[in-house]
Amino acid sequence: MSQKSLPPLNWLRAFEVSARYLNFTHAAEELHLTQGAVSQQIRQLESHLGVALFKRLPRGLGLTEEGQSYLPVVQDAISRLAVGTNEIFGQHNRRHLKVRGSLSFLHYWLAPRLADFCREYPQIDIRYISNIWVKEPDGEDDLEIRWGCGEWSGLHAQRLTWDILQPVCSPTLMANSPIHEPRDLMNHSLLHVLGYEEGWGYWLKRVGADDVDYSRGLQFDTLISTIRMAELGQGVALARSSVVEDLLNSGQLVAPFSHRIEASESFYLVHEQAEALSPDAANFSTWLVAQAHRLL
């Protein structure tokens, strides 16, 4: 069965306004058109749909049954479009500060602190876009929060965290099946993050537990996924200390081992060297780096 093609938006707008007023002249005034132009658009819409939407009465207009049924559908669509347009492009052309970055960094590190920035800089609206995989800068983002070594060609990088690789699990898992030494991990599911060079194999080798089969377990493409699974008692995650600090302090997670294996990579705030920061980006950069240095 063939589907009816979508009518042009200006026809639908003319229908919605005319249906509210039940008067083409008043509709023309709101739309800044002539009465004849509105009438023509309604005729074109009715011809496209193959039904009459209005009853032409001696003293004005009335809606047919088809018109009454179609009106709320059109009003809802126009309303949603108006709301979406205003959210993205409105606020008197107020520009968002576009930050692209790690979802786990946002969720566990930045989000609890972001309210302080908003209070200090209420005029700055942030649009945070998560990146699972690092991409080359394309000029669309003002700043990026990136996990890595801090050396990227053409980018200026400011270090935000000094991380250690830290196995973590839920208190329930620890109570039901205690983990006293790294070799005990062979009795548990290991939670892996795809794309990290310093994963379970690296950590187990550094602590002398080469006999643990690190190929086992569940694999995810984000650190936030492994941490969530660890919270639910579904295994042991190899976390980065900056991300799980608050969870450890609150008791939502526990760290079974005291081994301090420093990560060669950390979170950095980066931007293109060739591009000068906007005032909003400069303010956010200064605030974010200051927040990070308070934790040293």
- C-beta of residue 131 within 8 angstroms of C-beta of residue 101: yes
Query: Helices 223-231 and 241-250, interaxial angle, to 10°?
Result: 20
- C-beta of residue 61 within 8 angstroms of C-beta of residue 55: yes
Alpha-carbon Rg for the chain in angstroms = 29
**Taking the alpha carbons of 109, 114, 120, 126 in that order, is the dihedral positive or negative?**
positive
H or E segment and range at residue 220 = strand 218-220
- C-beta of residue 263 within 8 angstroms of C-beta of residue 240: yes
Q: Is the pLDDT of residue 199 over 60?
A: yes
Please give the pLDDT value at position 274: 78
Percent of the chain at pLDDT above 70? 94
Q: How far apart are the C-alpha atoms of 131 and 108, rounded to whole Å?
A: 15
Instruction: Give residue 124's identity as a one-letter amino acid code.
Output: I
**Structural domains of the chain, with CATH:** 9-89 (1.10.10.10), 96-162+266-294 (3.40.190.10), 164-262 (3.40.190.10)
Tell me the pLDDT tens digit for each residue of 202-232.
999 999 998 999 999 999 989 999 999 999 9
Q: Is the pLDDT of residue 83 over 90?
A: no
Please give the pLDDT value at position 64: 95
Helical H runs in the chain? 9-21, 24-31, 35-49, 65-89, 103-105, 111-120, 171-176, 200-206, 223-231, 241-250, 279-294
Average pLDDT score over the chain: 91
Across 6-15, 93-102, 112-121, least confident range: 93-102
Residue 138's pLDDT band, with cuts at 50, 70 and 90, is low
Q: Is the pLDDT of residue 32 over 60?
A: yes
Instruction: Give residue 67's identity as a one-letter amino acid code.
Output: G
**Rounded average pLDDT over 57-61:** 85
Please give the pLDDT value at position 136: 67
Q: Is the pLDDT of residue 91 over 60?
A: no
Please give the pLDDT value at position 139: 67
Please give the pLDDT value at position 60: 81
Whole-prediction pTM: 0.68
Across 138-147, 155-164, 249-258, least confident range: 138-147
